[in-house]
């Protein structure tokens, strides 16, 4: 799920940071640049692990800042295909589920990767709000929002940045408005994970822990 990645970068350290020890200044600048951002084909940068080397310190003409060549190691979040992870259901709609890990929220389970025999049906106990139900041997298993859920990584994509943004998402806070607006208008996500629930042992954690019935069924299956 997490990896170390070695990166070389030509870093501009503004003169306002000259009063700091050089490694602290560089680390701060690296954190500003990389942390909580996605690098395509590398993953989501979590933390600066260490700084391997600092070279140079050249001041370009007509620029007041020193420019260093820095080699450093980052901790990145990049799950591998087939990895099993636990997250929380954040949203469910007719296109499937959206799962959040707290620090990363662009994990989608499309309809075709839901457990086979799943239906998106109204919930009588919850005022007719629809939710996903897996029907196994005519026994319904519900997936509620905010359930702890186990999923398997199916694929990871790094979509290219859109040249023209869709008009609706130009508003100032696209994330907050999203649930109210039409669901088609999603904010741009630089890393999208497609997950699968279609295997025994996957799905909400409560389906599989302890209670004997569900487990027995699976053992017969496998």
Which residues in the 162-191 window bind other proteins by CB under 8 A?
Answer: none
Please tell me whether residue 9 binds other proteins under the rule CB under 8 A: yes
**CB closer to other proteins, 59 vs 86:** 86
Q: Which residue among 66, 150, 154, 194 contacts other proteins (CB under 8 A)?
A: 150
- By CB under 8 A, the residues from 95 to 124 that bind other proteins are 101-103
Contact by Cβ (8 Å): 128, 212: no
22 contributes a contact to other proteins by CB under 8 A = no
Nearer to other proteins, 94 or 103 (CB): 103
Beta-ladder partners of 67: 12, 58
In sequence order, what DSSP letters do the residues of the chain get, joined into one string? -EEEEEEEEEEEE-GGGTTS-HHHHHHHHHHHHHTT-EETTTEEEEEEEEEEEEEEEEE-TT--SEEEEEEEEEEEE-PPTT-EEEEEEEEEETTEEEEE-SS---EEEEGGGSPTTEEEEE-GGGTT-EEEEEEETTEEEEE-TT-EEEEEEEEEE-PPPPSS--GGGGSS-HHHHTTTS-TT-PPP-S-EEEEE--STT-EEHHHHSS-HHHHHHHHHH-
Shortest distance in whole angstroms from residue 200 CB to other proteins: 6
Closest approach, Cβ 56 to other proteins, in A, equals 15
Among 91, 123, 145, 200, binds other proteins (CB under 8 A): 200
Q: Which stretch binds other proteins (CB under 8 A): 12-20, 40-48, 134-142, 156-164?
A: 40-48
The Cα 78–Cα 134 span in angstroms is 29
Asked if residue 23 binds other proteins (CB under 8 A), the reply is: no
Residue 146 is a binding residue for other proteins (CB under 8 A) = no
Under the binding rule (CB under 8 A), the answer on residue 141 touching other proteins is: no
Residues in the interface with other proteins (CB under 8 A) total 43
Q: Which stretch binds other proteins (CB under 8 A): 37-45, 60-68, 133-141, 181-189?
A: 37-45
User: 106 with 193: CB under 8 angstroms?
Assistant: yes
The residue ranges that bind other proteins (CB under 8 A) are: 1-9, 31, 35-36, 39, 41-42, 46-47, 49, 71, 73, 75, 77, 80, 82-86, 101-103, 150, 152, 199-202, 208-209, 215, 218-219, 222
């Amino acid at each position: 799920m997490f990896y170390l990645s070695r990166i070389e970068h030509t870093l501009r350290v503004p003169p306002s940071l000259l009063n700091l020890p050089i490694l602290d200044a560089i680390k701060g600048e690296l954190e500003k640049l990389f942390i909580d951002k996605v690098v395509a084909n590398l993953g989501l940068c979590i933390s600066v692990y260490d700084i391997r080397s600092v070279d140079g310190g050249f001041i370009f003409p007509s620029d007041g800042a020193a420019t260093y060549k820095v080699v450093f190691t980052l901790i990145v979040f990049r799950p591998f295909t087939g990895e099993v992870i636990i997250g929380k259901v954040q949203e469910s709609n007719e296109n499937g589920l959206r799962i959040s890990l707290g620090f990363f929220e662009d994990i989608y389970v499309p309809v075709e990767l839901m457990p086979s025999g799943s239906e998106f049906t109204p919930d009588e106990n919850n005022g007719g709000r629809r939710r996903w139900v897996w029907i196994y041997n005519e026994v319904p298993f519900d997936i509620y929002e905010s359930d702890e859920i186990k999923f398997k990584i199916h694929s990871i994509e790094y979509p290219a940045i859109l040249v023209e943004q869709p008009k609706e998402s130009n508003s100032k806070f696209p994330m907050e408005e999203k649930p109210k607006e039409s669901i088609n208008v999603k904010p741009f996500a630089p890393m999208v994970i497609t997950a699968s629930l279609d295997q025994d042992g996957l799905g909400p954690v409560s389906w599989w822990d302890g209670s004997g019935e569900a487990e027995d069924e699976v053992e017969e299956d496998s």
